[in-house]
């Protein structure tokens, strides 16, 4: 591999100091025109390329954004695409790390990204994260941070999220309007804000319809298809089994569907099902699964725009919250009755 030419090589060949070469390349006023001309000519002949990392460090910026996500499933990968599009347009590179829902791995990823001299972080929390000291250490170094999708009040930073309570409310209200009366909820870990908010929306719709909130119908489990499958099997074996299920992710909805089919129950007649995220697979299975759609790409773009705004701001931006609205996509798994306004 051919060695990259350096400032020292140019200085040695022209018998001048490296500082003179550096000033000539930067076109400063204190270098003679003939010296500058010689430096630029030789630099071109040697195909000299400036050390971008050194230049960035001089400016105390590397134009690199560290992104930490719990996984790269369809919806989060779409958010990351949104981040990357805005970052690319602004001249930034994105480094993405997955925590795989592990708190320990999230801590390791944070350290590795900071060791890689990223300018700051855009973060979505793991399912296990209960303490955020590792992120607070980043903020103590005056590094910009934006929290997206899975947010927490424990991190004082700009955030971008979906209105998860409204989403849970829309899904549950739809099931109620379709005539379901015993609606279960496959929710997520208790420490995760998005789980709690989607559950609050579920309970809000039940209360509004004067329906009892049965704790036996609420199952806490990880964002995992297998967990949801076994949790649904237990629900369906109850003496008073549910006639509908709201799953707070499409992975959970897929697991629930497997258990429902194994029980030979018909959707939507025997039981209804609504998922969350509108993964493309929900439209391909039979029956197709109703799901909450979030503007994932726009959410990612918004997170990146705020980050870059923080990088270019002379003031410390800490209080800013962007909340995007969900949309319910109704499909075969939950539609017993004609939609309002349709025959």
Q: What is the pLDDT of residues 200-238, one digit of tens each?
A: 999 999 999 999 999 999 999 989 999 999 999 999 999
Examine the pLDDT at 277 and tell me if it is beyond 80: yes
Over range 81-97, report the average pLDDT.
95
Residues 6+ apart with CB under 8 A from 245: 183, 184, 185, 186, 232, 235, 253, 256, 271, 272, 273, 274
Q: In the predicted model, what is the mean pLDDT of the chain? A: 92
Angle between helices 74-89 and 296-312 (to 10 degrees): 40
pLDDT at 343: 39
The percentage of residues in the chain with a pLDDT greater than 70, rounded to a whole number, is 94
d(CA 172, CA 165) in angstroms, rounded, equals 11
Over range 112-121, report the average pLDDT.
94
Helical ranges in the chain per DSSP H? 7-14, 18-25, 33-45, 52-58, 74-89, 103-115, 133-140, 164-177, 193-208, 225-236, 250-262, 296-312
Domains of the chain as residue ranges with CATH:
7-50 (1.10.260.40), 62-162+296-325 (3.40.50.2300), 164-294 (3.40.50.2300)
Residue 182 — very low, low, confident or very high, per pLDDT cuts 50/70/90?
very high
pLDDT at 338: 77
Coil/strand/helix, residue 97:
strand
Examine the pLDDT at 56 and tell me if it is beyond 60: no
Residues 6+ apart with CB under 8 A from 171: 201, 202, 246, 274, 276, 290, 292, 328
Taking CB atoms within 8 Å and a gap of at least 24, the contacts of 104-110 are 104/128, 106/68, 106/134, 107/134, 109/68, 110/66, 110/68, 110/134, 110/135, 110/138
Examine the pLDDT at 76 and tell me if it is beyond 90: yes
The percentage of residues in the chain with a pLDDT greater than 90, rounded to a whole number, is 77
Between 338 and 255, residue with greater pLDDT: 255
Examine the pLDDT at 95 and tell me if it is beyond 60: yes
pLDDT at 233: 98
pLDDT at 60: 63
pLDDT at 75: 94
Nearest to 122 by CA among 153, 141, 149: 149
- The per-residue DSSP string of 209-234 comes to TT----GGGEEE--S-HHHHHHHHHH
Between 140 and 339, residue with greater pLDDT: 140
Instruction: Give this prediction's pTM.
Output: 0.81
């Amino acid at each position: 591999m051919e060695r990259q030419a350096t400032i020292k090589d140019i200085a040695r060949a022209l018998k001048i100091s490296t500082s003179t070469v550096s000033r000539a390349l930067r076109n400063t006023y204190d270098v003679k025109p003939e010296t500058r001309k010689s430096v630029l000519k030789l630099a071109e002949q040697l195909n000299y390329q400036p050390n971008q990392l050194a230049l960035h460090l001089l400016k105390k910026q590397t134009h690199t954004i560290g992104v930490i996500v719990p996984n790269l499933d369809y919806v989060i990968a779409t958010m990351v695409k949104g981040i990357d599009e805005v970052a690319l347009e602004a001249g930034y590179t994105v480094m993405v790390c997955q925590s795989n829902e592990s708190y320990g791995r999230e801590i390791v990823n944070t350290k590795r990204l900071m060791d890689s001299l990223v300018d700051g972080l855009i973060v979505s929390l793991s399912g296990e994260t209960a303490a955020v000291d590792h992120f607070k250490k980043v903020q103590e170094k005056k590094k910009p941070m934006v929290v997206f999708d899975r947010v927490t009040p424990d991190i004082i930073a700009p955030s971008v999220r979906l209105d998860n309570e409204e989403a849970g409310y829309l899904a549950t209200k739809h099931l109620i309007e379709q005539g379901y009366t015993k609606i279960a909820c496959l929710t997520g870990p208790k420490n995760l804000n998005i789980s709690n908010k989607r559950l609050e929306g579920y309970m809000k719709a039940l209360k509004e319809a004067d329906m009892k909130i049965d704790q036996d119908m609420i199952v806490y489990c990880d964002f995992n298809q297998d967990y949801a499958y076994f949790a649904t099997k237990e629900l369906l074996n109850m003496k008073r089994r549910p006639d509908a299920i709201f799953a707070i992710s499409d992975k959970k909805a897929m697991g629930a569907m497997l258990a429902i089919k194994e029980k030979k129950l018909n959707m939507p007649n025997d039981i209804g099902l609504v998922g969350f995220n509108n993964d493309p697979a929900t439209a391909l299975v039979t029956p197709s699964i109703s799901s909450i759609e979030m503007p994932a790409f726009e959410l990612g773009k918004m997170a990146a725009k705020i980050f870059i705004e923080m990088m270019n701001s002379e003031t410390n931006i800490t209080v800013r919250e962007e909340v995007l609205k969900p949309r319910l996509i109704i499909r075969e798994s939950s539609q017993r009755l004609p939609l309002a306004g349709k025959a």
